[in-house]
Amino acid sequence: MSSLAGTSNQHDLIDSNPSAKIERIRLEPPKPKGLPREKVEAILKAIPGAKKRDRLLFRLIFETGLRAGEALALHIEDLELAQDDERIYVLGKGNRRRTVLLDDPVLVKQLRAYLKATGYKHGALFRAEKNGRGGPIRYQSVQELWAGYCRKAGVECTLHQLRHSHATELVNGGVGLETIRKRLGHKNMQTTLRYAEQSDAVADAEMRAWRRRQRG
């Protein structure tokens, strides 16, 4: 229809193209969908204990909200392991650097055990095991590994949903949106606000608790 109107306009059959006045429909981006901690933990539990790299990699993404690509780009030199103040330096989108606190004790314990077992002193934190060469692990390989562990656990979860799950957990736990924005490496607060609606259940619970106190 629009092409016909445009052609007619070009040949002076009509004064203007009526379709040019139609506003384009802009679709809202899909809402982030996180998983409850118990479901993520079920997947992490399905990873064999001998697979220390995989257990650390996927827990790191879940407990910090890193993008998978950011996690795979980490080097030993990006770690700061002062006792009780462990953190990582991340290079995110747009070459923006940020510091992410490693505040989960299980994650920190796994990280220290992994470094001790591998003996890594410098270079990539997560390396391929093929042929024992220890080269960089590919993103596609990581996706395939994660999909396999999900099937084993009987839980549907994409790799990127680990990041969403972390953000949703923080929102529901009452962590401020500005703190979440910085932790996830969002450039704009608008991106972080997409997670705000995930806390409706918590907000409802708070309102009910407030109402009970008022009546009491």
Catalytic residues: 67, 93, 160, 163, 186, 195
The full 3-state SS of the chain, as one line of letters, equals CHHHHHHHHHCCCCCCCHHHHCCCCCCCCCCCCCCCHHHHHHHHHCCCCCCHHHHHHHHHHHHHCCCHHHHHCCEHHHEECCCCCCEEEEECHHHCEEEEECCCHHHHHHHHHHHHHHCCCCCECCECCHHHCCCECCHHHHHHHHHHHHHHHCCCCCCCHHHHHHHHHHHHCCCCHHHHHHHHCCCCHHHHHCCHHHHHHHHHHHHHHHHHHHHC
Distances (CA, A) of 22 to 3, 4, 8, 110: 14, 15, 17, 57
| CA gap 150, 172 in Å, rounded | 24
| CA gap 87, 177 in Å, rounded | 20
